[in-house]
Amino acid sequence: MTFETEIHKRRTFAIISHPDAGKTTLTEKLLLFGGAIQLAGAVKAKGDRRRARSDWMKVEQERGISVASSVMTFDYLNKTFNLLDTPGHEDFSEDTYRTLTAVDSAVMVLDAAKGIENQTRKLFEVCRLRDVPITTFVNKLDREGRDPFEILDEIEQELALDVVPASWPIGMGRNFLGCYDLFNDRLILVAKGKNDQISEGIECNGLDDPKLDDLLPDDAVSKLREEVEMARGLCPEFDLESYLGGHLTPVYFGSAINTFGVRELLEGLAEMAPSPRPQATTTRDVDPSEKKVSGFVFKIQANMDPKHRDRIAFVRLCSGHFKRGMKLKHIRTGKMINVHNPTLFLAQDRELAEEAMAGDIIGLPNHGNLRIGDALTEGEDLRFTGIPSFAPEILQKARPEDPMKAKHLGKALQQIAEEGAARVFKPLIGSDWIVGVVGALQFEVLADRIRTEYNIPVHFESTQLYTARWVTCSDHLKLKKFLDENRGAIGDDHDGEPVFLARNAWHLDKAMEDYPDLEFHKTKEQI
Ligand code: G4P
């Protein structure tokens, strides 16, 4: 197989959802189809769900639990899928957001009863920044949920996306009979009483096919015809370009727990979802089919082994054909890195994973020299753009339990900030450190890391701070004047750049009004 064909086979994607919508269940079922979890045949007996879970755990353990769940690779329909995990619960953080910079498309899972929830919206916004195409899976149709029209309307209104139903549900809750596959004209019925059996679709000659009258109760079939006609009148036709541009989402209905609708979703991804897309840099766009290897770090995972300060930098390959043992240039430092011990995530057989292509993810163990956004190439000086940094939304004080460890804590926080796992500010006045994150639970993760990796028991305390803004001004004297006059509200970030720590919205507005020549940036990347 040629190198180009291999790249075109790649589907690198993530699932975005609000906790509890069914991401884990769907992931598990996708892996099942991909054969990453081996089950005898498609028919599964009672209790197999549990077994599937434990099989999956075994796969995870073999691969090293947290690494494996970060990237899951499987083959289906002659495509290679890389599913990147977006941790949603405990460690919801910038990593979650940034993972979305490493994918070419996303699956948005909605709970049919709840529609679009808070975290779905946030993650969607990040996808929108890069026009990532979205495929929607409306889950839990086996329970009473909202009317499908209402859900479609909500997606369209709230996310400003065109919606095109890819399938249409027949009934809901206890009366959920199945779906009509609108893209392929197939009737897919729930295999009642057969647990997870995955029923084959029944080819139909359009919705008027008399087969439907034989297979479905009268009222169900007339409702289906009526609703689909209405939906077709209300929704635009599916348009691939519009989907690829991130303006339109095909919507599948299903029930992940019953493995219902999952195959259709995968088929859709295989057919429509984009293969690796060109990546922008400050100088040019990098095409995935270029022969030379390039990639960028989008996530750092630390704490793999608490005894060592090893981290794994996850690199999204943007071009070329990577082979184990290759030397790559670390553009930020100009140093060559000998990549002899990468983690490669290739379908099923990890032993044979000696190579990776554009679109794939490789994990590089390092001691902290690799940071988020860093580029690695075979020599060309490339800097990838579009790796957003998120404004720290919640600010807390970090305090060592042992005051004698203040200096050590400072060092630990400095490293964590360099890694990109949190923002760290040192106020000019006082001895505290201020840490800024995007999700409150990140503080627990950080405290745990600092305790295990640096051996410094630490706690975080709430502050009266509202937000942090990086301050710049083309006129040095004006900037100095502002810094001098507001010393009590100024801190330095880990690179020594000045940051304004505002107590409330009024405090920030006032500063902006009083110092109109200054710029107040939400993220460092805007500087
Ligand atoms: P998450 O990763 O998005 O947080 O969701 P997860 O898959 O863990 O699912 C959240 C809950 O919803 C789980 O129930 C799961 O079984 C259930 N669920 C997922 N898909 C479906 C579906 O298609 N239909 C129905 N009815 N439920 C679904 P739980 O009780 O929290 O956990 P568990 O004890 O079942 O594992």
Per-residue pLDDT tens digits for 252-309: 999 999 999 999 999 999 999 999 999 999 999 999 999 999 999 998 876 555 556 6
Distance CA 122, CA 105 (A): 16
- Whether the CB-CB separation of 213 and 101 falls below 8 Å is answered with no
Query: Is residue 354 scored above 70 in pLDDT?
Result: yes
101: annotated binding-site residue?
Answer: no
Choose which residue among 257, 258, 265 to substitute to test ligand 1 binding: the one with the highest number of ligand atoms within 8 A of its C-beta.
257
Does residue 176 contact residue 140 with C-beta atoms inside 8 Å? no
Residue 457, marked binder: no
Ligand 1 center from residue 96 Cα (angstroms): 20
Q: What are the tokens at 404?
A: 């004698």
Ligand 1 atom with the smallest distance to the CA of 143 is 26
Asked whether 22 lines ligand 1 (CB < 6 A), one says yes
Q: Are 263 and 199 in contact (CB under 8 A)?
A: no
Percent over 70 (pLDDT), the chain:
87
What's the ipTM? Answer: 0.97
Q: Is residue 442 in contact with ligand 1, taking CB distance under 6 Å?
A: no
CA of 16 to the centre of ligand 1 (A): 15
Q: Is 514 annotated as a binding residue?
A: no
Ligand 1 center–CA 378 separation, angstroms: 44
Backbone dihedral angles phi then psi of residue 37, each to the nearest 5 degrees: -115, 120
Tokens linked to 177:
């009979």
Is 255 annotated for ligand binding? no
Asked whether residue 148 is marked as a ligand-binding residue, the answer is no
Position 184 pLDDT exceeds 80: yes
Residue type, 118: N
The mean of the pLDDT values for the chain is 86
Q: What is the 221 CA–ligand 1 centroid distance (Å)?
A: 29
Gap from CA of 256 to ligand 1 centroid (Å): 8
Residue 200 structure tokens: 């084959």
Q: Which atom of ligand 1 is nearest to the CA of 20?
A: 4
Q: Tell me, using a 6 A CB cutoff, whether residue 255 lines ligand 1.
A: yes
Evaluate: CB of 28 within 6 angstroms of ligand 1. no
With a 6 A CB cut-off, is 113 part of the ligand 1 pocket? no
Cβ count within 10 A of residue 284:
10
Residue 228 DSSP one-character state: H
Cα-to-centroid distance, 253 and ligand 1 (Å): 16
- Tell whether residue 24 is among the known ligand binding residues: yes
pLDDT at 234: 93
Q: Which of the pair, 146 or 125, is modelled with greater confidence?
A: 146
Structure tokens at 215: 């297979």
Question: Collapsing DSSP states into helix, strand and coil, what is residue 396?
Answer: strand
Is 86 annotated as a binding-site member? Answer: yes
Report CA-CA distances (Å) from 227 to 11, 149, 165, 184, 220.
32, 9, 11, 17, 10
Confidence of residue 36 (pLDDT cuts 50, 70, 90): low
Q: Is the CB of 17 under 6 A from ligand 1?
A: yes
Tell me which of 87-91, 155-159, 224-228, 486-490 is least confident: 87-91
